[in-house]
Amino acid sequence: MDLSTRAVVTACLAAGVAVAAFFGPLALAAASGALALVVAIGWPRLLDVPVHGGTRVVVAIAGLGAVGATAATHGEPALRHLPVVLALAVVLAFVAELLRRDGRPRLVESLIGTVSGIVVAVSCAGWIATGRTDAGESLVVTCAVALAVASAVSALPLGGWTNAALTLGLAVVAGGAVGYVMPDLDLLSGVWSGVVAGLLVASLHALFDQLPELRGRLGAFSATALPVAVGGTLIFVVGRVIVG
């Protein structure tokens, strides 16, 4: 899967989250759960861990557990059960390693890969929590649009810092414009959403672009979901700190 295709998929996933926000909390929770599954499916291939099945199952359980716990939580803080989910998932990662019957080669690498996937999948629950902030739906849509724009720009045939600067700049412009016209938001909140989206896409593009595993379909598919998944928790911070 080439860079332009990955950018289109990432933009579509971000747009899907934005559309889900318009249909209410249940649709947003379903979109977050689907996003966690997309991460889980290709994560072991992306990081080239020794045993794919165990990692895939543990990451999926962690992501769906975090989404379910957050969706079922009423009142504040919305993410108060996430530490418990994360801790149990890490224990499950150790159990998965103990169940291996292949001599456990590259044990530490496999465990670290699984735990990193757990963190990414659990971050998907941040979209649900963001939907419950004061800005709620408007903030989800603004960040999702900024992510989509940043992903599209990152696919331009520019190198190094030029690509990163243009990705960040246009994400900020897109976030500011959408935030300005959305109810319950203002220009500053939209700009901060664009900063989060631009920095996230640019940094992940620089981190993963040269990995040979991106040539495979599953690994590339997981990589496309990565900015959107991690963006859920980061934009929740913007919603609590900047918007209030």
pLDDT (0 to 100) of residue 36: 95
186, 176 contact by CB (below 8 A): no
pLDDT (0 to 100) of residue 138: 85
- Domain span at residue 161 reads 3-243
Query: Per-residue pLDDT tens for 163-197?
Result: 889 999 999 999 999 988 988 788 888 888 899 89
What is the average pLDDT value for the chain, to the nearest integer?
87
Confidence at 34, pLDDT banded by 50, 70, 90? very high
pLDDT (0 to 100) of residue 22: 84
Nearby residues of 27 by Cβ (< 8 Å), 6 or more positions away? 20, 21
223, 208 contact by CB (below 8 A): yes
> What is the Cα–Cα distance from 3 to 178, expressed in whole angstroms?
26
pLDDT (0 to 100) of residue 8: 84
DSSP per-residue codes, 165-198: HHHHHHHHHHHHHHHHHSTT--HHHHHHHHHHHH
pLDDT (0 to 100) of residue 164: 86
Rounded (5°) CA angle 44-49-53: 55
pLDDT value at 158 more than 80:
no
Closest by Cα among 83, 84, 90, 75 to 129? 75
Counted domains in the chain: 1
Say what the pTM is.
0.88
pLDDT value at 213 more than 70:
no
> What is the Cα–Cα distance from 16 to 20, expressed in whole angstroms?
6
- Helix (H) and strand (E) counts for the chain? 10, 0
